[in-house]
Amino acid sequence: MLYDMFTQFSDESILQAEVHKMTSALQSDSRDPDTVFYAGMFESLPSSAQRDVLLKSAEKSGNAVDHCRLMLLLLTRFPDTRPEHGVKLVDTLLDTEKRESLPSPVNCYRKLLVCDTIPLVCSSPDIDVSHKQLYRWLQKAMEFYICFLTQPPCREGSKGPVLSSDKSPLKRQSSVFGGMSRHAVIEGLTDKESVVPDPWERLHELMMTIGCRCGWEINMASLQEERSLSDKWLCLKDLYNKESEDLEDSSQRKHILYSATFLLYQCVHNYTVAVQPELFSGSTSHSAPLVLVEDIRNRAAVKERKSGKPVKKRRKLEAGEDRGTSDDEAGQRSGRANIQMSKTGQMPPEGMASFRTAIDCWRLLHKQHAMEKDFTRLNQHWKTEGWVWLQSFIIDMLLYQGDQQKAVSLLEELLGSCGGRDPDDNRQTLLRLSLQLSSCHFCLGNYQRACELALDAIAELPVEAQPGDTASSKQQKADKESRQLLMLSCTEADILPYCVHVLVTCLKRNALGESEDDMSLGHLMVMLQYDWPSQEELFIKAVEKIVQQGSFTYNIFFNYVINIDMLEEFAFLKTPEGGKINLDLLPVSTIAISRQRTVTRGVHKGVKEDFRLAMERQVARCSEHVDTLTKKFLTEERDIILQNLL
């Protein structure tokens, strides 16, 4: 009787309301009496009547999302309807999304398309769809899943996916990497509909399903999603080697293209979550971000060993000096480097494996012209130039490959894009960009720019409640023959010693050169305190130059020099045994003091007394934290430090 009423009076509002309650009950997980009643009412209808109710209700629906929900019910309950209505539903969702001009692929239409509709349609053997259409569907699916996994944090008042409350009764999605936990509520969908469990597994399964329909020669066991990264890469490499002679064949080239692209972005996501978890919404990681930089301490040592010259013991602290402008640049592009993890940095075990596998995939996708062209077109379609996390990986890859010039171009572009944003929101980004730029410019021989950027990085350091143990935070110098990179945590314990070493290495070129440059010499000695006593030999060189000059002027000496060994050495230089060196170290120049005194007898005695008292006060400061003092020096004296690098 209900079905007869539906067919005869389908436009009646009361009847439409009852039918709506039935279809809503079918989509609900609730077990309340009304829901159970209406679901039972629908189940009591004959099968043909159920089809008609769902189909006609979908046709009458004025909302595209509701229409899709009802059609999905139809396709799920009655698989034989998929050949007739499945492809139509796919086209409807594609057209609706295009018409709405939504800013992000993570939207209600795309989610219903790639997670719910396309898998149903592709599972039907009777559906006739062209390979071109299937590849279009796969591109849409890959774009959605990748963008879903890499959604940036939402700012207050912004549109887009919102993180649900921790109190949500729904099961929260968890990424296998970096402590990520996300449950993005997609606008236009319910909490339940917004959940996408195991995104990479679902995308992999869909890719294999579409690949089978497109004629890929698939060994299903070899590309199981649960296999290790090394196994996946070896399988992909074997596939490429097998098909490399016939890559003009579109089917097999597409197989390699999509398989390599899938593995590339999965590995890039895993790596970036480990390195920069703050880029992604739902991150629960409390670890500091990481940053990849050149190990400048190791560069000169490797270069000297390769030249066959013995490394002099006296110059062991000068490792990192590079007097040329990248004359070993070709050697730097050997393709691989050793990466040393900071003692304070934390990365999941698969983090570095993901990074290297991603680089292998990137190289494979650029090996052959047709493949590279397809990959470039795919990225242009997805507008990957706007994916900050991908640009971050590309920079790290360029550093890994020793291509600092290209890395600088990309880093400068990203640094410029930060100009109009809130500085407080950008501190970590500015810190990473400045540090990597400093590292690159140092390797390219642009020392003044390297120092300027190192000082910029120090200015962006997070405020830490208690200074760390300076001695334990110093990076260990590698003794390997290959290039070394450092993975530092974005904390003062890692960043400050690295920046100080950049500055020391650049400043000593002026300070210990042939010309007299007391300011550079003074700046150098202030910073040598930070890594004491390992920098003692370099300090001795500085003292030898002062003795050779017979005088030394540095009027901010007593603001920043607190190292007891240094103070004792300078006190000794004033004695006859030390050479009675003319030291002008007081805040007010001793020359000015001499001119101000009206009595000439005892002038030098008065200056000596001032010097002695200043030294006594300075000794009392020896227990101050050298970390805090160094940061203060590099912040407050930034301008004069840079002037001495000109």
Q: Specify the 3-state DSSP secondary structure of 39.
A: helix
pLDDT score of 153:
80
CATH architecture, range 286-349+387-505: Alpha Horseshoe (1.25)
What is the average pLDDT across 152-169? 46
Q: Specify the 3-state DSSP secondary structure of 363.
A: helix
pLDDT score of 179:
37
Secondary structure letter of residue 182 according to DSSP: E
Secondary structure letter of residue 113 according to DSSP: I
Secondary structure letter of residue 198 according to DSSP: S
Q: Which residue has the higher pLDDT, 512 or 15?
A: 512
Q: Which residue has the higher pLDDT, 287 or 1?
A: 287
Angle value at C-alpha 155, between 151 and 158, nearest 5 degrees? 90
Q: How far apart are CA 209 and CA 392, in angstroms?
A: 32
User: Percent helix, strand, coil in the chain (nearest 5)?
Assistant: 60, 5, 35
Q: Which residues pair with 484 in a beta bridge?
A: 338
Q: Is 596 left (phi over 0), alpha (psi -120 to 50) or beta?
A: alpha
Cite the beta strand spans of 92-178 per DSSP E: 162-163, 173-174
pLDDT score of 178:
37
Burial profile 170-202: b = 16 or more Cβ within 10 angstroms, e = fewer: eeebebebbbbebbbbbebbeeebbbbeebbeb
pLDDT score of 314:
34
Does the pLDDT of residue 220 top 60, yes or no? no
What is the average pLDDT across 47-60? 85
pLDDT score of 646:
72
pLDDT score of 326:
40
Q: How far apart are CA 513 and CA 542, in angstroms?
A: 10
What is the average pLDDT across 144-172? 58
Does the pLDDT of residue 615 top 70, yes or no? yes
What's the first-to-final CA gap in the chain, in angstroms?
93
Q: Give the contacts of 426 (CB within 8 A, at least 6 positions apart).
A: 418
Does the pLDDT of residue 166 top 80, yes or no? no
Q: Which residue has the higher pLDDT, 232 or 382?
A: 382
Task: Show me where the domains of the chain are located.
Answer: 286-349+387-505, 512-643
What is the average pLDDT across 62-67? 90
Q: Specify the amino acid at residue 62.
A: G
Q: Which residues pair with 584 in a beta bridge?
A: 553
pLDDT score of 171:
33
Does the pLDDT of residue 89 top 90, yes or no? yes
Q: Which residue has the higher pLDDT, 320 or 450?
A: 450
pLDDT score of 427:
85
Least confident of 24-33, 70-79, 211-220: 24-33
Confidence of residue 635 (pLDDT cuts 50, 70, 90): very high
pLDDT score of 140:
98
What is the average pLDDT across 283-294? 84
Angle value at C-alpha 222, between 221 and 224, nearest 5 degrees? 70
pLDDT in tens, 480-525: 557 899 999 999 999 999 999 999 999 998 899 888 899 999 999 9
Q: Specify the amino acid at residue 496.
A: L
Percent of the chain at pLDDT exceeding 90? 54
Q: Which residue in 61, 42, 38, 59 sits closest to 50, CA to CA?
A: 42
pLDDT in tens, 251-269: 788 999 999 999 999 999 9
Q: How far apart are CA 67 and CA 44, in angstroms?
A: 23
pLDDT in tens, 335-348: 578 999 988 888 88
pLDDT score of 242:
83
Burial profile 617-646: b = 16 or more Cβ within 10 angstroms, e = fewer: ebeeeeeeebbebbbebbeebbeebeebbe
pLDDT score of 350:
87
Does the pLDDT of residue 572 top 50, yes or no? yes
Percent of the chain at pLDDT exceeding 70? 78
pLDDT score of 486:
94
Does the pLDDT of residue 605 top 80, yes or no? no
pLDDT in tens, 362-385: 999 999 898 999 999 999 999 999
Confidence of residue 422 (pLDDT cuts 50, 70, 90): low
Q: How far apart are CA 509 and CA 521, in angstroms?
A: 10
Does the pLDDT of residue 544 top 90, yes or no? yes
Please count the other Cβ atoms lying within 10 Å of the Cβ belonging to residue 597: 12
Confidence of residue 528 (pLDDT cuts 50, 70, 90): very high
Q: For 489, phi and psi rounded to 5 degrees? A: -85, 150
What is the average pLDDT across 451-477? 69
What is the average pLDDT across 434-458? 95
pLDDT score of 464:
65
The mean of the pLDDT values for the chain is 82
Give CA 442 to chain center in angstroms. 21
What is the average pLDDT across 513-541? 93
pLDDT score of 432:
94
Q: Which residues pair with 583 in a beta bridge?
A: 552
Confidence of residue 434 (pLDDT cuts 50, 70, 90): very high
Q: Specify the 3-state DSSP secondary structure of 16.
A: helix
Per the CB < 8 A criterion, the answer to whether 362 and 376 are in contact is: no
Q: Which residue has the higher pLDDT, 597 or 554?
A: 554
